[in-house]
Structure 1
Amino acid sequence: VVTNNHVVDKAKTVQVTLDDNRTLDAKVIGKDAKTDIALLKISESGSYPYVQFGKGAPRVGDWVVAIGNPFGLGGTVTAGIVSARGRDIGAGPYDDFLQIDAPINKGNSGGPTFNVSGEVVGVNTAIASPSGGSVGLAFAIPAETVQTVVEQLRTDGKVVRGYLGVQVQPVTKDIADGLGLDKAKGALVDHAESGTPAAKAGLKSGDVIESVNGAPVNDARELSRRIAGLKPGTEVKLAYLRGGKSDVATVELGTLPGDGKVASRGESSSSGQARLGLNLAPASEIGLGDEGVAVMDVDPTGPAASKGISQGDVILDVGGTSVSKPSEVQAQIRAAESNGRKAVLMRVKSAKGQTRFVAVSLSNKEG
């Protein structure tokens, strides 16, 4: 029996009530919090009707029927259409939901979403609502994802995912401008963890991963889903851009692991304040590490502040070049301008030690 992880999570005992009102004990065979899927087993012998998963993904606009037990009323059927596909609602790292407008409410979780042929195309999972009731925004886990997870839970009792070992972020329009890309597509590598498959294959910070085994990667989340859908030990070919040049890395995937106060200004940069809205100093001179340029002050109306750069952050590189002095930051900004870039790409380390790429506009106003 397939249901949602959040339906049975932390339960000491589980029972399944059938359509003929029989109640049977069930055992949790396995569950996966990352996709919110759980698999149960009924031990009592008997003949149990079941439904088939659909063989293809539904199209936006296709009619669907949702079945569940809203508010404990009992078996309830509602109808609607597929409103969208590939929705990310922040529920987990591999969100890829079908959005449907068939009314579902609390108690529908774990129920099937059928197409008009009676095939299961999704598992009802979540709603978006200010009141807790249906407002026409419901989400179902696609059948393709459910089948993959269920098969692993059935055979192994757990889900084992491929592991690349990179921190990635989406390529926004500003970042694409900073990198000189024509389109805002792909997954930008923030950092390749030392000793991971990605690092061993030569991937570096600033690389833009464009495809996995020839299949295009539109954004960072899609890369995560693609890699997680492969088994550890799988060899994949990653096409990526580095410095405007294309290359391919062959990577053998690993196993996904289980799941300061500024005292002095040092060398400052008034020109940096004027251009980016920043006052900078060498990080080594103020105790913020051995590399990079520290952000001493931020103009709240400047372009850097609009991108989330704050006091205490450390700029590690600009335009793909490591920096250690404010003058080096300015040199890279001038270089970006001379190359006709609309934005300059910076790798920034936060006070908590997390790194990210930020594209700061070089124009006088935001587009």
Structure 2
Amino acid sequence: MEYIAKPVLLGLLVAAILVLAFPQFRPQTDDDVTDLMTLSQSNLGTDWIGPVSYARAVSRAAPSVVNIYTLQAARSRSDASNRISLGSGVIMQSDGLLLTNHHVIEGAVKILVLLYDGREVPATVVGTDPEIDLAVLKIEADNLSPIALGEPSQARIGDIVLAIGNPSGIGQSVTQGIISAKGRNGLRLNIFENFIQTDAAINSGSSGGALIDAYGNLLGINTATLNNVGSTGISFAIPADAAAKVLTDITQYGHVVRGWLGISAHFGLASNEQGITKIFGVTSVEPGGPTAKAGLIPGDIIFKIDGFPVTDPHASINQITNVTPGQPVKLSIIRQDTVIEFTVIAGNRPLH
């Protein structure tokens, strides 16, 4: 027994020293497992709020997205066959007002809307705005589900977005991506451009559909995809607030109301004591237009609009068109090395 007791006691003593020196050798209790789980979860970061699934967002928004089928008139005598084209649309109001792209219904002699619940109803055109590529349609149907509007101005680059539409006519589909950029312009797709860029796929037939946030709120109307070689994952949507203004103006006035100054100008750079300044050089003034009445002449150099320096052509154009006709616009100009301040009363942009 003496020979057995001594090794056992020695082993227990070594084990006790190891446990004290190295706590990881201790057996795990239920409390230890809970602590490890808490630690593991804490490694996710306290600001993690993203959902694992976006099914709730889709189920909230999908009933508001419709498929649009149009019958296009024959192109010419040599091509007398009618054509069917595909697109998507978004229910904006419970009374049956929809938004889609102008190019989806352009030239259509008949428009058919397929609702989420399977009903098919004809649609009429209330009005269009080709300059931003939007159209307002009207359908007569009960129990419609208007989409909830989001806040594109608050959306951030990197936010998750979902595109809902009818790609290639296969039926309603959802693609997922992020906001890649905001305020995209200069693409020469429309006269007025202020796109949300996303890598969510917007395929043929999905134009006019909804770009929603992770909660099912409308952020934009899906409009276009770059199809150039090497441009995979570059799609664009018209911000929902701009689209909502088009709908309101068309239903209230019959057309979109935009501010107008009545000048033609070229964008350029000019040097001054502070360095290089971005400017608009006035090339012509519309006779009887707002700027002509205020006293501007060709050759004037505009370097500020309402106190804001000229930054780029599209931002300045949007700044002017967003002014309500009848409201004053202050222009800071240089004429023969002299700075002059003009107040121009914005007019209503002529229809094109």
Q: After the TM superposition, list the runs of 4 or more consecutive aligned residues in structure 1 that deviate by more than 6 angstroms.
A: none
Q: Name the structure 2 match of 1:158.
A: 255
Equivalent residues, number: 253
Q: Name the structure 2 match of 1:53.
A: 149
- TM-superposition CA deviations, 1:88-138 (whole Å, max 9, x none): 21012211111111111111100111112221111110111136x981111
Greater RCO (CA < 8 Å, at least 6 residues apart):
2
Letter in 1 for 2:179: V
CA contact (8 A) 1:197 1:252 kept: yes
- In structure 1, the gaps of 5 or more residues are 260-367
1:90 aligns with 2:183: no
State the 1:161 CA deviation.
Answer: 2.3
Kindly tell me: are residues 8 and 158 of structure 1, through their superposed partners in 2, closer, same or farther at Cα, counting changes over 3 Å?
Answer: same
Q: Name the structure 2 match of 1:334.
A: none
Kindly tell me: are residues 244 and 114 of structure 1, through their superposed partners in 2, closer, same or farther at Cα, counting changes over 3 Å?
Answer: farther
CA contact (8 A) 2:270 2:279 kept: no
Q: Name the structure 1 match of 2:197.
A: 99
Q: Name the structure 2 match of 1:209.
A: 302
Structure that is richer in helix per residue:
2
- In structure 2, the gaps of 5 or more residues are 1-97
1:195 aligns with 2:291: no
Give percent identity, aligned residues only. Answer: 39
Scaled by the length of structure 2, the TM-score of the pair is: 0.66
- TM-superposition CA deviations, 1:224-279 (whole Å, max 9, x none): 222222333222222334445443211112222231xxxxxxxxxxxxxxxxxxxx
State the 1:42 CA deviation.
Answer: 1.3
Kindly tell me: are residues 105 and 56 of structure 1, through their superposed partners in 2, closer, same or farther at Cα, counting changes over 3 Å?
Answer: closer
Q: Name the structure 2 match of 1:118.
A: 216
Equivalent position to 1:230, from 323, 328, 339 = 323
Equivalent position to 2:174, from 59, 72, 77 = 77
Bigger Rg, structure 1 or 2? 2
Q: Name the structure 1 match of 2:344.
A: 251
- TM-superposition CA deviations, 1:282-332 (whole Å, max 9, x none): xxxxxxxxxxxxxxxxxxxxxxxxxxxxxxxxxxxxxxxxxxxxxxxxxxx
Range 27-36 or range 198-207, more displaced: 198-207
Tell me how far apart the structure 1 counterparts of residues 337 and 217 of structure 2 sit (CA, whole Å): 46
Tell me how far apart the structure 2 counterparts of residues 54 and 243 of structure 1 sit (CA, whole Å): 48
Kindly tell me: are residues 199 and 105 of structure 1, through their superposed partners in 2, closer, same or farther at Cα, counting changes over 3 Å?
Answer: same
CA contact (8 A) 1:239 1:248 kept: yes
Q: Name the structure 2 match of 1:14.
A: 111
Tell me how far apart the structure 2 counterparts of residues 215 and 119 of structure 1 sit (CA, whole Å): 32
CA contact (8 A) 1:69 1:76 kept: yes
> 1:126-205, aligned counterparts within 5 Å?
126-130=224-228, 135-171=232-268, 175-177=269-271, 182-205=275-298
Q: Name the structure 2 match of 1:218.
A: 311
